[in-house]
Amino acid sequence: MAHIATRTGDLEKDPRIGFQNTTPGSSRKSKSSRFAHLTAFCAAIFLTAITVQKLWAFVDVSNFKTPISKVAVCPSATPITPVTHSSLLQDLEAEYATEEFQTHVYATLSGAVQIPTEMFDDIGEPGQDPRWDVFADFHSYIDSRFPLIHKNLRRTKVKTYGLVYQWQGSNTDIKPILFTAHQDVVPVEPSTVQDWINPPYSGYWDGKWIWGRGSCDDKVDLMGSLTTIEKLLEKGFKPQRTIVLAFGIDEERGGNVGAKSIRDYLLATFGENGFAMLIDEGGNMEATSDGMLASPGVAEKGYFDLRMSVSADGGHSSVPPKHTSIGILAALIAQLEANPHTPHIFRHQAFYTTLQCQALIDTNMDDELRTLISKSQHSDKALVDLEKKLFAIDGMAEALSKTTQAVDIIHGGVKSNALPENAFAIVNHRIAQHSSVSAVKTHLAEILSPLAEKFNLTFDAFGDGLNATSGVPSSGLLRLAEAWDSALEPAPVTPWIDNPAFDFVAGTIQTVARTSKRWNNTNLPVAVAPGIMSGNTDTKHYWKLTKNIFRYRHVSRFDKYNGAHTVNEAILAEAFIDLIRFFTFTILNADETTLLA
């Protein structure tokens, strides 16, 4: 039995809002009225074209880089509720609402958090590095906490600690569904332990929050899916559709051991495109007094780490050259930061659709911004104006709309009185959906080559050969190279237009959100928009398993006390119940839907 600590009293979070921007002095009543009129107008259009499931705007964008023929304004989704399994669902919903069930599952997540499955960049192979041993303890905990799963599901261990569970369905003519999560967590920086409200591996439940590393990223998904299946087994449910759970072990360092091996196992077992869909951690649901907006991630940025190194002659620091290798490296870094990648919004991409949905849902949005979002459907000028205004007020929107770069590591020199012969920096890039690894390399070479000439350096850009920059003897070498075999193209985009699988996920989200006991007004509008992930999950290894990859966790940003990978990671306990409900509805709906293959 997991140990769970409790205390009375609530700890309130100061929520951080995204790009919502309330104009001072604006009338909330007036905005609500305009929103009501707009909603009524959209409903009228829907009723007039009852056979059309989505609203489209047809625009001429021939002068844009990527011409398109249609743009989703905001996809509609019909709520999906189990019919055949309706009695079972009612029984489960009643049990999920009990104090006994909630106390039990809070203890389940608490116990999982108490096992510090930290992942390190320099960890060795499983079986060779003792830092892996804690994963064995985690497996023992899972076995003890979920005895019916341990007894009834086929469990396969991949690469020693990767876990795959298979719940075989009775109908082999339909494709399985796949839920993924990861067992590992980001290490806690020892110097920050005193900054935690509750110890980072306490799993402490204070009556409101469950505290600790992994409570949000990602043991909440892992325990949520296991809890759901354990409860379905207890109720005697026997699925028609096979359900597979896959839990990686090193997602926090790229999944190169766990997810890669799990991918190979699943491909060998189920074949390419062998799954109807995959759901992993990712986008959230945002809930306000005006409505709810869920954003399952259908796209994921690419990745590239640049190693930028400068080599120069050494010597005594008492007789320095005009610029040392470190000084040159500093100039190169300044050049990069002065020339960032340009952000753009494209009508055919997921982020643009999210903006359209948010404009419909969020009545507190700045009026000018809302107008630009609407006009941009048909006006190129409005689209450019939208970019300017949005990027000026919302850093996240800008980051999602471009390739980002961040100088994260720098090293040079060994002694204060010795000239540094080598200096290097690592620059992390998250590649925009409309870009590529090749485009990033070209940008870097073009931006930095003038400085190579300025400092009279021989220039080697990604192995293209050594290029002397002048007729005089070179003062050193500037080399651009890929670090750590890191290059990853942007992920294939899961279609959200005319894709039954997206309709299935969106319809399930609609029902779970509307029936949540946490939201009193179930008549609030609920929109489901395709999202894009700024980072990468284990799904970067799973592209061949299915064309329908959805990165989604059914919680809101306000359900997390703090962001992942930092101090005071905590999840709102009642949000964990809604996440279990999401897994429950998804499994039961998938068992009887015709929207999945």
The single residue of 184, 218, 250, 591 carrying the catalytic annotation is 184
Task: Kindly state the tokens that stand for 463.
Answer: 């192995």
Q: How many CA atoms lie within 13 A of 400 on its CB side?
A: 24
Residue type, 587: I
Contact yes or no for 167/156 (Cβ under 8 A): no
Per-residue 3-state assignment (H helix, E strand, C coil) for 344-395: CCCCCCHHHHHHHHHHHHCCCCCHHHHHHHHHCCCCHHHHHHHHHHHHHHCH
* Distance spanning both ends of the chain, measured CA to CA: 40
Active site residue 251: yes
The single residue of 206, 218, 230, 251 carrying the catalytic annotation is 251
460 belongs to an annotated ligand binding site: no
565 belongs to an annotated ligand binding site: yes
State phi, psi for 407 to the nearest 5 degrees: -80, 110
Continuous segment of H or E residues that includes residue 431: strand 422-431
**Sequence-separated (6 or more) residues with CB below 8 Å from residue 98:** none
217 belongs to an annotated ligand binding site: yes
Give burial (CB, 10 Å; 0-12/13-18/19+) of 118: middle
Q: How many CA atoms lie within 13 A of 46 on its CB side?
A: 14
**CA-to-CA distance for 548 and 27, rounded, in angstroms?**
42
538 belongs to an annotated ligand binding site: no
Active site residue 482: no
**CA-to-CA distance for 451 and 334, rounded, in angstroms?**
11
DSSP 185: B
Per-residue 3-state assignment (H helix, E strand, C coil) for 197-231: CCCCCCCCECCCEEECCCCCCCHHHHHHHHHHHHH
**CA-to-CA distance for 492 and 511, rounded, in angstroms?**
28
**Sequence-separated (6 or more) residues with CB below 8 Å from residue 76:** 46, 53, 54, 55
State phi, psi for 581 to the nearest 5 degrees: -60, -40
173 belongs to an annotated ligand binding site: no
Q: What amino acid positions are annotated as catalytic residues?
A: 184, 251
Q: Residues annotated in the binding site for Zn(2+), as ranges?
A: 182, 217, 252, 280, 565
Q: Residues annotated in the binding site, as ranges?
A: 182, 217, 252, 280, 565
